[in-house]
């Protein structure tokens, strides 16, 4: 998630929709007062840009400082820096009860955190065909286990049964809360993963920022399923149609 006061925009990060790559690209244009929650390590690795003043100020929050000190002795500083700003925002939002964690923030929580900016700034996000997204999410969440022991169907059944876990589906399996409040789309622009470059260029054009396709980084190892249809039988298709019905209906996606 990014809130840029300099360029007056809010970017809402949706899962498995190149959000980390987009955040890293946008980080080039942020100043010391802008908020960037997530992708700090990617930003540094890609552009050599260290945490800005607003990010360092996150450490004044007791929860964030405690988390940072607990993990700072680890071999890699990636883990504390990746999460410390999220912990700070969690602390700031404790009373709003609008936050869903981990690992991303809902539209309602961002509005609660920055109501003035929410009303005045340009807000945008990206979505993805749920039939494609579900497979990519499964491959990402289970990349350390053998798929034969835990099938795509098992994964979808756990979502249906709300059996969320570290190595299985996350409660944020759907991106619907990131672009809606009370089931109403609340952002100014919804781009499509399937048309990423053109739609990102259009969104950035609205806020006066340039887009160079060749500079958009790939911040995570690819878990793109290729032809996602090969993962589906009748039950898998029925489960995804049910679980992601709101996205499918709102954005006109089909199998």
Determine the structural domain holding residue 118 and report its residue range.
Answer: 2-251
Instruction: Residue 150: give its domain's CATH number.
Output: 3.40.50
96-111, pLDDT tens digit by residue?
Answer: 444 444 345 789 888 8
122-160: b (≥16 Cβ within 10 Å) or e: bbbbbbbbbbbbbbbbbbebbeeeeeeebebeebbebbe
192-237, pLDDT tens digit by residue?
Answer: 999 999 999 999 999 999 999 888 877 555 556 679 999 999 999 9
Let me know: does 67 contact 83? Beta carbons within 8 Å. yes
Beta partners for 9? 4, 122
User: What is the predicted pLDDT for the residue at 126?
Assistant: 97
User: What is the predicted pLDDT for the residue at 225?
Assistant: 60
Average pLDDT, the chain: 80
pTM, whole model, 2 decimals?
A: 0.80
What is the tally of structural domains in the chain? 1
User: What is the predicted pLDDT for the residue at 34?
Assistant: 82
In this structure, what is the dihedral angle of CA atoms 40, 107, 172, 29, given to the nearest 10 degrees? -20
* Residue range 166-190: mean pLDDT, rounded: 91
């Amino acid at each position: 998630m990014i809130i840029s006061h300099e360029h007056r925009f809010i970017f809402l990060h949706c899962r498995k929709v190149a959000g980390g790559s987009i955040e890293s690209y946008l980080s080039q244009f942020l100043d010391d007062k802008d908020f960037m929650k997530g992708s700090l390590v990617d930003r540094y690795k890609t552009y050599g840009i260290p945490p800005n003043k607003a990010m360092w100020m996150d450490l004044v929050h007791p929860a964030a400082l405690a988390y940072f000190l607990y993990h700072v002795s680890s071999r890699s500083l990636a883990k504390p820096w990746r999460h410390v700003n999220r912990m700070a925002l969690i602390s700031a939002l404790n009373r709003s009860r609008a936050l869903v964690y981990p690992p991303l923030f809902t539209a309602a929580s961002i509005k609660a955190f920055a109501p003035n900016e929410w009303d005045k700034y340009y807000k945008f996000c990206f979505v993805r065909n749920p039939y494609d997204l579900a497979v990519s999410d499964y491959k990402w969440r289970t990349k350390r286990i053998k798929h034969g022991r835990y099938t795509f169907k098992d994964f979808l059944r756990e979502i249906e049964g709300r059996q969320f876990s570290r190595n299985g589906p996350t409660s944020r399996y759907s991106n619907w809360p990131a672009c809606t409040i009370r089931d109403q789309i609340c952002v100014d622009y919804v781009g499509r993963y399937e048309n990423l470059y053109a739609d990102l260029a259009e969104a950035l054009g609205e806020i006066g920022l340039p887009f160079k396709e060749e500079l958009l980084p790939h911040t995570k190892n690819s878990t793109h399923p290729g032809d996602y249809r090969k993962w589906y039988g009748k039950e898998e298709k029925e489960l995804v149609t049910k679980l992601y019905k709101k996205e499918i209906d709102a954005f006109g996606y089909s199998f």
